[in-house]
Each structure stands twice: as C-alpha cells, then as structure tokens.
A and B are shown apart, each in its own frame.
Chain A
Amino acid sequence: MCGTCGCGGESPVPTAGGVDVELHARVMAHNDHAAEHNRAHFRAAGLTVINLMGSPGAGKTALLEATARARPGLRLAAVSGDLATDNDADRLAKAGIRSRSITTGTVCHLDAEMLHDALHHWSPGDAEVLVVENVGNLVCPAIFDLGQAANVVCLSVTEGDDKPLKYPVMFREADLVVITKADLLPYLPGASLEGLRASLAQVMPDPRCIVTSATGDEGTGEWLGWIDALRARTREGES
C-alpha cells in the first residue's frame, strides 16, 4: 500500500537494469501531516484559527484592527507572515491584539511547520481566536494547509472584479471572502459588487462573502457574527 490514498500502489515491477515503482503519493503529504498536528493542538487548546490571505494591501491588517475596535472583549491574537518587516505585527499590537511576526525572508508563503515552530516560541496567551495573517500573495499560500479551522481571503474592490478568475486556487480554498474598501466603489467606474460576486461564483463552490469598509466599520458586525459561528462550530468539534 502506498499509505497515502490506499490505492495499493508501490508494487515494484522489475525492468531491464532497474525497477518501476507505482507510488501515487500526494506530494504535499508532509505539509498536510504537519497541518493535522497543528489542528490537533489548536483543538486541544480550544483555539479557533483563521488563515487570513490576500494580496499585499488588500486590507488584512486593517480588518483585524477593525475587529479589535468593534469588539474589544474578543480575545484575539495574530501571527503575521511578513517578508521583511515587523510592521504588521507592530500595527496589531497598537490595536491591542497580542501578536508576533514570522519574518519569512524570501519565502512567499507560510507552511504548517513554520507556524508550528513560531508557536513553540510564542504563546497566543488566553486567546480564543488566532488569526494567521499570511504573506500578502494571491498565489503561493493557497496550497499550504496550516491546520486552520477556516480560510478567509481579503479582496479589495480596487483589485478588480476579475481577480478571483485569475487566482482560482486561492478563492477555491476560501471558506469566506471579505470584500474590503467598499467605500471606494463610487470612485471605481469599472468595479461593482455584482461583478465581484459573479466572479466568485465561478471559482468558489459555496461562494460566501461579506462586504466591508474598515474606515466606516461597514460589515464588521456581519464579520464578527461569522467568527462567532465559526467559533461555535469549533467548540462543537471539540466535544
């Protein structure tokens, strides 16, 4: 048995001077195994973990600042993947969110082991929700499971209605898309919520989105309601 999909692979067939081996092994199996290990830790700790992804400048950090502003009682912690700076973690700390950064250097995504190592050196304290703010990138983070309870993708209206069609893997993996900067729509003649929703419907099997504007706190209540529902589902999973 190949041990990954139960297909019965890995039966060697001798050839002239060699051997052929059928493997049928998932190449991401090692990361996925580490992600399951993280998931078990999070479940045991009663921690709801969100993998927050999106382009650079989509508004990931601003969404977390707005979250803390709207509900100061939410025990929220964050880990930020950042190529070169601690800027995001500094902003989150100022917003009262317990946070640390993972400086990835040249690596364009976080993987399960990077998150695991970071959490061995830093505790999210008494947090009930941990947001992993991934490296700003609509491509690379999509295929790395971290052990999260849900994937959330921030998509700002300024990025264009067709972005989900250009980056289908990222949006396919999303449990929720948070459309950000909606207050800018009147200044963007080519952008519309209808256009964004139509694009999402082509790449997300269960297209869920929340329309937000962090400056006016539009949609923050709906976002907090979604977090509460996710938290309740995570608790059910624990019992």
Chain B
Amino acid sequence: MHEYSVACALLDQIEAAAHAHGVTAVKVVHLALGEQCGVEAGLLGGAFELARAGTVAADAELRIRPVPVRWVCPRCGGERPPGAPLVCPDDGAPARLEAGGEIILERLEMEV
C-alpha cells in the first residue's frame, strides 16, 4: 500500500503551499493522476482521508483528474495504439510516454 506514502508526500506539499500563502485551511486539492502512474486513485483517496487528520487539509476534498496513457514515437510523432509493441514499426524507435505516468498536484483552493 504505497499509496499512503504518496498521500503523505502530497500532504507535505499541501502544507508547504498553505504555509507559503498564510492560509488556514485547504478546501479542494486538484490532482492529476496518470492511468499508468503506479498509484490507484481509490486507494490514494482512502489513504488521503487517513493521512490528512490534523493538517491544514483535514477537511479538504481530493479531486482526481485521470490522465490517459499516451505513447508517442519521438521520431515520426505517431501514437502507439494500446496493446501494440512500443517500438515504432515505421522507424524502429522506442516510444516515449507522453502522458499517463504523472502524479501532479495541479491546484489548491484555500481559505484565508
């Protein structure tokens, strides 16, 4: 259950941002979560509810925006379809993960 570790890292960043802006409470946490980031949204939500107690985000809502996976050939720009090999059939280049691997704290709605 590494989601608890991720929730704690998220809360550290939330606390730092809240402190920097002198706010008393965080209302909404907007998180972008890649569909292949290695973190389960449901488990992260549960871990966040446990870990947020006693922090500025104690009553915060966690809103997760799922980001679909996109593999792209860096040479020809072609997108690799799901289930296909990740080496580009046209030029033999290994595809690059353009989206879907990220865990990004995008935005905080806070109370002053």
Contacts and interface: CB of A to CB of B under 8 A. Distances in A.
Contacts of B104: 24-27
Interface in A122-136: none
A153 interface: no
B110 A169 contact: no
Interface string A162-199: 00000011101000000000000000000000000010
Contacts of B101: 169, 172
Interface residues of B, number: 39
Contact of B2 (A15, A19, A109, A198): A109
B95 A205 contact: yes
B38 interface: yes
Interface string B79-112: 0000111110000001111000111111111111
Contacts of A168: 36
Contact of B13 (A23, A139, A140, A201): A23
A205 B71 contact: yes
A183 to B, nearest CB: 28
A1 to B, nearest CB: 13
A30 B38 contact: no
Interface string B4-19: 0110011011000100
A23 B87 contact: no
B53 interface: no
A25 B15 CA distance: 13
A168 B71 CA distance: 13
B21 interface: yes
Contacts of B76: none
B50 interface: no
A23 B110 contact: no
A206 interface: yes
B86 A28 contact: no
Max chain A C-beta neighbours (<10 A), residue from B13, B36, B84, B95:
B13
B38 A20 contact: no
18 contacts: A15-B109, A20-B108, A22-B107, A26-B102, A26-B105, A27-B9, A27-B10, A30-B12, A108-B1, A140-B2, A172-B36, A198-B85, A201-B85, A202-B84, A202-B85, A203-B86, A205-B87, A206-B87
CB-based closest 7 A-B pairs: A205-B94, A140-B2, A169-B38, A143-B38, A201-B85, A27-B103, A206-B94
Interface of A: 10, 12, 15, 17-31, 107-109, 111, 139-144, 168-170, 172, 198, 201-207
